[in-house]
Amino acid sequence: MVCIYCSSKTNVFNSRQSRQSFSTWRRRRCSKCSSLFTTIEKPNYNQSLLFKQSDNQMMPFSEEKLLISLVDSLKHRINYLEDAVSLKDTILKQLLSELHTSIITHSDIVNKTYSVLNRFDQAASTYYKAYFMN
Ligand SMILES: [Zn+2]
């Protein structure tokens, strides 16, 4: 990876694998300008998973659509964006560990999202059910 400031070569000088999520945190230093920055390597779900719609049509999975539905359902909370990002990761981690497949159906995603939201915030799960589970 090149430097975000000057586009020169960088070196990793610190790295940690997360035990809670599928990610690796790295600290990089530019060999030219000595700037420091952080990268996080994580799965690209949009290019790894397929989404099977209710009419059985297949399309690439969209993490962004899941995130938007969560943001929408959590917008009454002060930290709705952080909550939505964290819950998106929880939902995907739980789904993939239960399904062991790269194909996620519409009912898989809405049922898991509803159940995770319901444990986290009942107003959010009620909103989600009304606007995204039909
Ligand atoms: Zn640089």
Structure tokens at 38: 């952080």
Q: Are residues 102 and 117 in the same domain?
A: yes
**Residues written for the chain:** 134
Ligand 1 center to 32 CA (angstroms): 5
Any domain includes 127 = yes
Q: Are residues 86 and 112 in the same domain?
A: yes
Residue 6 near residue 35, CB atoms below 8 Å:
yes
Ligand 1 center to 18 CA (angstroms): 27
Q: Are residues 15 and 71 in the same domain?
A: no
Our count of domains for the chain comes to 2
Q: Are residues 84 and 26 in the same domain?
A: no
pLDDT single digits (tens) 46-90: 999 999 998 999 999 999 999 999 999 999 999 999 999 999 999
pLDDT single digits (tens) 106-128: 999 999 999 999 999 999 999 99
Q: Are residues 57 and 110 in the same domain?
A: yes
Ligand 1 center to 11 CA (angstroms): 11
Q: How would you class 84 by CB atoms within 10 Å of its CB: exposed for 0-12, middle for 13-18, buried for 19 or more?
A: buried
Ligand 1 center to 20 CA (angstroms): 31
Ligand 1 center to 130 CA (angstroms): 49
Q: Report pTM.
A: 0.84
Q: Which domain, by its residues, includes 54?
A: 45-132
